[in-house]
Amino acid sequence: MTTLVSDTALVFGRYARQTLRSKMQIFFGALMPVLYLLFYGPLLTAMPLASRGSSWQVLVPGLLLQLGLFGAAFCGFAIIIEKQHGVVERMRVTPVSRLALLLGRVLRDAALFVFQAVLVILVALAMGLRAPLPGILIGFGFVAAMTVSLASLSYALALRVSTPQSFGPLVNAVNMPAMLLSGLMLPMSLAPGWLNVLSHFMPFRYLVDAVRAAFVGDYGGTAMLYGVLVTAALLLASVATGTRLFRRAGA
Amino acid sequence: MAVISTAGLARTFDTKRGPVHAVRGIDLTVEAGEILGFLGPNGAGKTTTLRMLTTLLAPTGGAATVAGCDLLRDPVGVRRQTGYVAQSGGVDPSIRVREELVTQGRLYRLSKAEAEARAEELAHELNLTGLLERKCAALSGGQRRRLDIAMGLTHRPAVLFLDEPTTGLDPGSRSDLWDLVRRIRAQWGTTVFLTTHYLDEADALSDRLVVVDQGRVVAEGTPTALKTRYAGSPDASLQDTFLAITGRGVAPQDTTPIAV
Ligand SMILES: Nc1ncnc2c1ncn2[C@@H]1O[C@H](COP(=O)(O)OP(=O)(O)OP(=O)(O)O)[C@@H](O)[C@H]1O
Ligand SMILES: [Mg+2]
């Protein structure tokens, strides 16, 4: 257990230092959601999106998770390059824990995207978002959990493919429907019945609904309950998948 | 006592164009403190065998023990005691040499202070001292190769696997590396399992040779014994011996470069 913690800290440190060296990467990820806030948010302020609260309380949770979705899903790119340099095999040949090889990386990713989420919230507050602090903190928690699970899956997929060219299109093919069906941009409550039903098969929808509930101060309802359950299941399945791939990364 | 022993070790890759039998069943033993030269033409299965013995690749058949640990049941035990220098290296070009060496020590569970001291020591042994603050991308091919080797020696492994360690090194660095390998063995009793296409290197360094072709062991013995048996004289060249064993020469790009 203590070796797992120290192994994870070691791997985390290596990748965190790499991230800190690239200020570009740190801020660039927040650019897309901030642009949405500036040029898309104002369109929604006059619309009656929310049954409770303002449109900002509907839009901002979506943007936070969009940050996680698009950021984390592409994390695997880095490991394809590392694999080509032999770095992955070099680490796998050491006694370091396989779980730590994954966790060190995904925790770095989670730290990065939570930092960007803080930037997005600051801009959103300036634009007019008003939401309870505990709700916002819960939102960060969901961003972190979503990053950890998606990044794990992204690394797992990246360990199986051999070139970045085959990785990008695959990720996009999953991400686009995930974004549309989870109601990131507009709540699924606006959708016709069939679409609403379909979206219930998209796990991220429950995360989005939970964060929206948190932003209006509803911490004990079914949205939160489902959100937490789905997130826990996602975390478990994706971390297990990622670790398995580090254990026997094939080619 | 055998430090490495394999029985029917095999690996088949499933590819889109059908199965590739990279290693078809290898039986060999390596004694403690021995330097074993593992030879064979391109595609013979050398790297695949090394990747199995270092726990990177699961065998599809057979069994092996390395440093007293069963490959399948105790991979962590194997990892603790082996070092591996891969054919194509394993450092990140964007990271500084010192950081890579220290991280490697930490991955092998050295304390921070130990890992830092060890990085200095290795840099000294492999002639990298002036390069510690450079990014790995800014090293020459030969300097990079020396760094790869330093990384494999970090934890003073009982068994060292070297996959074509001297490819890309100039003659001076090559003979330095031979000296280093001999010194490590003399000082630490390290068992060394190395592949090479440089037959002079195999001849100079190995106590014993194992020649593989198409995934099988086709000959083994001391360099002198193999020369006598396959090329008719203990003074024959290893080149002729190798040709007689495999029925073909080494690929032209892999032979020792000749000045023109
Ligand atoms: N991941 C893989 N998938 C499919 N085939 C593979 C894979 N790795 C190796 N092979 C095949 O297995 C055979 C043995 O390869 P290996 O790399 O072990 O040879 P080698 O003896 O190290 O050759 P070289 O001297 O060129 O380094 C080759 O035919 C190779 O193409
Ligand atoms: Mg090879």
- Tens of pLDDT, residues A22-41: 888 888 878 888 888 888 88
Q: Does B193 touch chain A (CB under 8 A)?
A: no
Nearest-by-CA chain A residue for B74: A95
**Min CA distance, B229 vs chain A (Å)?**
38
Q: What local confidence, expressed as pLDDT, does residue B253 receive?
A: 43
In a domain, B135, yes or no: no
Ligand closest to B41 (CA) is 1
In a domain, B77, yes or no: yes
Q: Please name the residue that has the structure tokens 């490819």.
A: B167
The average pLDDT across B131-144 equals 93
Q: pLDDT class for A44, splitting at 50, 70, 90?
A: confident
Ligand closest to B38 (CA) is 1
Q: What local confidence, expressed as pLDDT, does residue A53 receive?
A: 76
Q: State percent of chain B over pLDDT 70.
A: 95
| Cα–Cα separations (whole angstroms), residue B237 to A137, B220, B226, B242 | 74, 16, 10, 9
Q: What is the DSSP letter of B6?
A: E
Number of structural domains, chain B?
Answer: 1
Q: In chain B, what residues touch A104 (CB-CB under 8 Å)? A: none
Of all protein residues, the one whose alpha carbon is nearest to atom 11 of ligand 1 is B22
In terms of C-beta density within 10 A (0-12 exposed, 13-18 middle, 19 or more buried), how is residue B58 classed? middle
User: How far, in Å, CA of B216 to CA of B207, rounded?
Assistant: 20
In a domain, B129, yes or no: no
> Of A216, A9, A234, which is closest to residue A100 (Cα–Cα)?
A9
Ligand 2 is an ion; its neighbours by CB within 5 Å are B 46-47, 87
- Tens of pLDDT, residues A126-139: 988 999 999 999 99
Q: What local confidence, expressed as pLDDT, does residue A249 receive?
A: 62
Q: What is the helix (H) or strand (E) element at residue B173, kind and residue range?
A: helix B171-188
Which range among A3-12, A147-156, A170-179, A235-244 shows the weakest confidence by mean pLDDT? Answer: A170-179
- Phi and psi (nearest 5°) for B3? -90, -35
What interhelical angle do A76-84 and A164-181 show, nearest 10? 170
- Where residue B38 sits, what CATH number does that domain have? 3.40.50.300
In a domain, B118, yes or no: no
B157, B83 in Cβ contact below 8 A? yes
Residues with CB under 6 A from ligand 1: A 251; B 13, 15, 20, 22, 40, 42-48, 87
The average pLDDT across A179-197 equals 85
In a domain, B259, yes or no: no
In terms of C-beta density within 10 A (0-12 exposed, 13-18 middle, 19 or more buried), how is residue A185 classed? middle
Asked if the model's pLDDT at residue B258 lies above 60, the reply is no
CB contact under 8 A, B106 and A10: yes
Structure tokens at A62: 């979506």
CB contact under 8 A, B79 and A93: yes
Substitution target from B15, B69, B99, B106 for chain A, most A beta carbons within 10 A? B106
Q: Which domain holds residue B50?
A: 2-88+159-246
Asked if the model's pLDDT at residue B219 lies above 60, the reply is yes
Q: What local confidence, expressed as pLDDT, does residue A34 receive?
A: 86
The average pLDDT across B142-150 equals 92
Q: Does A46 touch chain B (CB under 8 A)?
A: no
**Interface predicted TM-score (ipTM):** 0.89
Q: State percent of chain A over pLDDT 90.
A: 61
In a domain, B130, yes or no: no
User: How far, in Å, CA of B188 to CA of B239, rounded?
Assistant: 31
In a domain, B136, yes or no: no
- Tens of pLDDT, residues B155-206: 999 999 999 999 888 898 898 889 989 999 999 999 999 999 998 899 999 9
- Tens of pLDDT, residues B41-73: 999 999 999 999 999 999 999 999 999 999 999
Nearest-by-CA chain B residue for A246: B56
Asked if the model's pLDDT at residue B255 lies above 60, the reply is no
Asked if the model's pLDDT at residue B248 lies above 80, the reply is no
In a domain, B141, yes or no: no
Q: Mean pLDDT score of chain B, rounded to an integer?
A: 91
